[in-house]
Structure 1
Amino acid sequence: MTEKNQSKSRNTDQRSKIIEGYVEHVLENGEEPVSVFKFAKGLKMKEEVFYEYFTSFEGIKNAVWEMIFDHTKADLESQEVYPSYTAREKLLGFFFTWVEELKKKRSYLLAVYGDKPVVPIPTSSEWKGFKEKFRDFVKEVILEGKETEEIADRPYISDKYDEALWLQLIFVFRFWIKDTSPGFEKTDAAIEKSVNLAFDLMGKSAVDSFVDFAKFLFQSR
């Protein structure tokens, strides 16, 4: 292994150590560390080493969410049938696969977000990387949907589809973290119903058909 590769591997190990240490601390204590100094000391790491990778605990939360997204997308795209999915099926597949990833970290997520009457929406810094990755993903799905005419291309409104699907993701997360049904079956139902509703709304409606017909009549005069 070259010196450059060794350095890269060491950096990856240190970063992973910090993330894993943070998650473990939250699981064991039900709250985040009181300070970076104490946290780094517990990892037998100098405080300045922590700051080489993260500027705050918010940054670690963001890294955890990015990992969840990356694992979700990798698992979804590894399925042989995925390329043949319709746009609707790809979004459904994402949500179902994402929830499976969330289950693996449910105790951590409950400790961070689940102890309040109303589940808080993670701050912009906590979900920054995840949100960017998710919106890039759904923009591709939306483009495919437009090409296959599953999704209607409406002036001005189409540009907001990705934001609407982001709000849907927040809804699913808040629903899931409070779900106590066996196997989270209510969350599965919420995903299916909300995604189908989203595609019905984004799809070509009777109003669109009427407008198209009216345009045709006007242009045919």
Structure 2
Amino acid sequence: MATKKTAITKDKIVSLYMDYVLEHSEKPKSVYSFSKSNDFTETDFYAYFGTIESIEKEIFKMFIEKTVELLHKNKEYEMYDMKSKMLSFYFTFFEILTANRSYVVLVLKEHNNQLKKVMQLSGLRNSFKNFLTEIIADDFRTQQERLQNFQEKAFQETSWIQLLLTLKFWLDDASPAFEKTDIYIEKSVKVTFELMNIAPIDSLIDFGKFIFKEKIYNK
């Protein structure tokens, strides 16, 4: 009796793609070669993705979606203030990245072209902005006077740049358990929220000292 073929799902294709990239240190040359090497058809592939590049974008989007899913499983999360939700997001997100570090480092560090790297992270950007909209809705919009000084769109763009800088720091972090990235996250998020409260000086100086020490004395 013939063996029943395993159903090809979106998650299965993503898993196979990540394995392929890690094993070959490069992405597949074509949809045909990728599907053939993994015993499924191009039709199976195109049911979920239009191109090889679209898988790359989807993977980083899935990292965000998994992060948010895990956050909402914590019953206490809904009671957190905006700053605590942001910190929880960062620590959970980078735990997921760390679990997939070999893949993330390989695909991001191969792109010397910054535009290509940003394009690959477009799915991540959109999902992250959706998360920001979600946490802003809780208490930020109710503070009308502060909203005039720190518009929602400015907050989203600033937070996106902050996430990219944190990602860059994490990629270069060689400390045990990436403990320096944890410090970076705590200090950078603190600076962001104190800027929103128009009281940034102490935290900004502290954060600046940390970055200076890491980049100058630890080269």
TM-score above 0.5, yes or no: yes
The total of aligned residue pairs comes to: 196
- Whether 2:82 is the aligned partner of 1:77: answer no
Q: Per-residue CA shift, 1:188-209, capped at 9, x if unaligned?
A: 0111111000001112449xxx
Match of 2:58 among 53, 60, 63: 63
1:46 counterpart = 2:41: yes
| 2:154 maps to which of 149, 160, 167 | 160
Equivalent residue for 1:107? 102
| Higher RCO structure (Cα 8 Å, ≥6 apart) | 1
Does structure 2 conserve the Cα–Cα contact (< 8 Å) formed by 1:19 and 1:60?
yes
TM-score scaled to structure 1, two decimals? 0.78
Deviations 1:150-205 (A, max 9, x none): 99212574431111101111111111111110110110011111100000111244
For structure 2, list consecutive stretches of 5 or more residues without a partner in the other structure.
201-219
Change (3 A) 1:177 1:162: same
Query: Which runs of 5 or more structure 1 residues have no equivalent in the other structure?
Result: 1-9, 207-221
Deviation at 1:46, TM superposition (A): 2.3
Percent identity of paired positions between Structure 1 and Structure 2: 32
Residue equivalent to 2:180: 186
1:127 is displaced (CA, Å) by 2.8
User: What corresponds to 2:127 in structure 1?
Assistant: 133
CA RMSD, 1 decimal: 2.8
**Which of 130, 143, 146 lines up with 2:140 in the alignment?**
146
Tell me the equivalent position of 2:197.
Answer: 203
Contact 1:69–1:134 (8 Å) recurs in 2: yes
Equivalent residue runs for 1:15-26 within 5 Å: 15-26=10-21
Paired residue for 1:89? 84
Greater Cα offset, 28-37 or 14-23: 14-23
Q: Once the 2 structures are TM-superposed, how far is the Cα of residue 66 of structure 1 from its aligned partner?
A: 2.0
Q: In 2, Cα distance between the equivalents of 1:195 and 1:154? A: 21
